[in-house]
Structure 1
Amino acid sequence: MKFLKNFGLILLTVLMLAAWILMPWYGALALAALLALWMLLFRSGAQARSVTAVGISTLTQRLGSSAVIVVGIAGVVGVLVSLLAMAEGYAQTLRNSGSLDTAIVMRGASANEVSSSLTREDVVQIGQAPGVSRNAKGEPILSAETVVAANLPVKGGKTGDQGSAQVRGVSEAAFTVRPNVKIVEGKVFQPGLRELVVGKGAVRQFDGLTVGATLKLGNQPWTVVGIFASGDAMESELWGDATMVNDAYRRGNGANSATVKLDSPAAIKAFSESLENNPQLKVKATTTVEFFAKQSEQMTKILRIIGIVVGSIMAVGAVFGALNTMFAAVAARAREIATLRAIGFRGLPVVVAVMLETTLLALIGGLIGGGIAWLIFNGYEASTMAAGSVGKLSFNLAVSPGLLWEGIKWALAIGFVGGLFPAVRAASLPVTTALREA
Structure 2
Amino acid sequence: MSTLLSQSAAVIKMNIQSLPRRLWMSLAMVFASAVVVAILLAFLAMSKGFEATMESAGSDNVAFFIRTGSAAELNSSAGRDQVNLIENSPGIKRDEQGPMVSPELYVIVDGIKKSTQQEANLPLRGLDQRGVNMRKGFTLVAGRMFNPGTDELIVGAGVVSQFDGFELGQEIRFGKNTWKVVGVFSTGGNVFESELWADAKVIQNLYNRGSSYQSVRAVMESPDSLGAINEYLKSEPRLTHEAQAESSYFAEQGKSLSYMAIFGWVISSIMALGALAGALNTMYTSVSDRAMEIATLRAIGFSSFSAFIGTMAEAMTLAVVGSLVGSLAAFIFFDGLSTSTLGGSFTQVVFSFSLTPELFTKGISMALVIGFISGFFPAWRAARVPVIVAFQSGR
Task: Name the TM-score class by shorter chain.
Answer: over 0.9
Q: TM-score, normalised by structure 1?
A: 0.85
Shift of 1:276: 3.2
Q: Residues 284, 42 of structure 1: CA spacing in aligned structure 2 closer, same or farther, 3 A cutoff?
A: farther
State the Cα deviation string for residues 268-324 of structure 1 (Å, max 9, x = none).
233333323433322111111111111121322x21122112212221121111111
Q: Corresponding residue for 2:295?
A: 338
Question: Are the aligned partners of 1:127 and 1:140 in contact in 2 as well (CA < 8 Å)?
Answer: yes
Shift of residue 363, structure 1, vs aligned partner: 0.5
**Any idea what the Cα deviations from partners look like across 1:133-192, whole Å, max 9, x if unmatched?**
222x0512111111011123333555xx42221111112211221131211111111112
CA distance in 1 between counterparts of 2:324 and 2:136 reads 39
Residue 360 of structure 2 aligns to which amino acid in structure 1?
L
CA distance in 2, matches of 1:346, 1:134: 79
1:81–1:404: 8 Å Cα contact kept in structure 2? yes
> Are residues 1:436 and 2:395 paired?
no
Partner-residue secondary structure (3-state), 1:404? helix
Query: Residue 254 of structure 1 corresponds to which residue in structure 2?
Result: 212
Residue 121 of structure 1, aligned match among 41, 66, 81: 81
Q: Could you tell me which residue of structure 2 aligns to residue 274 of structure 1?
A: 232
Aligned to 2:12: 52
Match of 1:285 among 240, 243, 249: 243
Deviation, 1:375, is: 1.2
Q: 1:144, 1:43 → 2: CA distance?
A: 76
Which residue in the other structure is 1:68 paired with?
28
Q: Is the 8 A contact 1:219 1:248 kept in 2?
A: no
Q: CA deviation at 1:357?
A: 1.2
Deviates more, 1:85-94 or 1:201-210: 201-210
Identity of counterpart residues, as a percentage?
Answer: 37
Instruction: Give the match for residue 149 of structure 2.
Output: 192
Instruction: Mark the CA change 1:154 to 1:78 in structure 2 (over 3 Å): closer, same or farther.
Output: closer
1:36 matched residue in structure 2: none
**1:147 is matched by which residue type in structure 2?**
Y
326-335 or 202-211, which moves further after superposition? 202-211
Match of 1:144 among 86, 93, 103: 103
The aligned counterpart of 1:416 is: 372
Q: Deviations 1:232-267 (Å, cap 9, x if unpaired)? A: 111111001111111111111111111111222333
Residue deviations 1:164-222 (CA, integer Å, cap 9, x gap): 21111112211221131211111111112221111111112322212232223352222
DSSP 3-state at the match of 1:384: strand
Alignment RMSD (CA, Å):
2.0
Query: Do 1:142 and 1:177's aligned partners in 2 also have CA atoms closer than 8 Å?
Result: no
1:84 and 2:40 aligned:
no
Compared CA separation, residues 146 and 437, structure 1 to 2 (3 A): same
In 1, Cα distance between equivalents of 2:170 and 2:275: 53
Could you report, residue by residue, the CA deviation over 1:85-112 in whole angstroms, capped at 9, with x for unpaired residues?
A: 1111111111111121112110011000
Q: Is residue 120 of structure 2 the alignment partner of residue 163 of structure 1?
A: yes
Say if 1:142 and 1:259, in contact at 8 Å, map to a contact too. Answer: yes
CA-to-partner distance for each residue in 1:51-93, whole Å, 9 max, x for gaps?
1122112223332222111111111111221122111111111
8 Å CA contact 1:359, 1:416 repeated in 2: yes
SS of the equivalent of 2:129 reads coil
Q: Can you give the 5+ residue segments of structure 1 that lack an aligned partner in the other structure?
A: 1-40
Within 2, Cα distance between the matches of 1:168 and 1:92? Answer: 21
Shift of 1:390: 4.7
1:245 aligns with 2:203: yes
More strand by share: 2
Report the equivalent of 2:317.
Answer: 360
- 399 and 156 in structure 1: CA distance in 2 versus 1, 3 angstrom threshold: closer
Q: Secondary structure at the match of 2:250?
A: helix
Match of 2:383 in 1: 427
Amino acid at match of 1:315: A
Match of 1:8 in 2: none
Pair 1:154-2:113 in alignment: yes
Matched, 1:232 2:203: no
**CA, structure 1 residues 61+132, in 2 after alignment: closer, same or farther (shift >3 Å)?**
same
Provide the secondary structure at the position in 1 that maps to 2:148: coil
Q: Using the alignment, how far apart are the partners of 1:319 and 1:288 within structure 2?
A: 45
Which of 154, 160, 178 aligns to 2:135? It is 178
Q: 1:197-216 to 2 correspondence within 5 Å?
A: 197-216=154-173
Give, in whole Å, the separation in 2 of the partners of 1:288 and 1:126: 16
Structure 2: gaps (5+ residues): none
SS of 1:196's equivalent in the other structure is strand
**Match status 1:263 vs 2:221:** yes
Please give the secondary structure, in 1, of the residue aligned with 2:302: coil
Q: Partners in 2 of 1:269 and 1:345 — Cα distance?
A: 71
Find the aligned partners of 1:355 and 1:127 in 2 and give their Cα distance. Answer: 68
Distance in 2 (alpha carbons) for counterparts of 1:156 and 1:80: 23
**Within-5 A mapping of 1:103-122:** 103-122=63-82
1:18 corresponds to: none
SS in 2 for 1:173: helix
Q: Give the whole-Å Cα distance in 1 for the aligned partners of 2:52 and 2:211.
A: 34
Residues paired across the two proteins, number: 392
Distance in structure 2 (CA, Å) of the matches to 1:218 and 1:139? 36
State whether residues 162 and 339 of structure 2, in contact with CA within 8 Å, keep that contact through their aligned partners in structure 1.
no
**1:278-317 mapped onto 2 (5 Å cutoff):** 278-300=236-258, 302-317=259-274
Match of 1:13 in 2: none
Confirm whether residue 393 of structure 1 aligns to residue 349 of structure 2: yes
Instruction: Report the CA distance shift for 1:68/1:199 in structure 2 as closer, same or farther (over 3 A).
Output: same
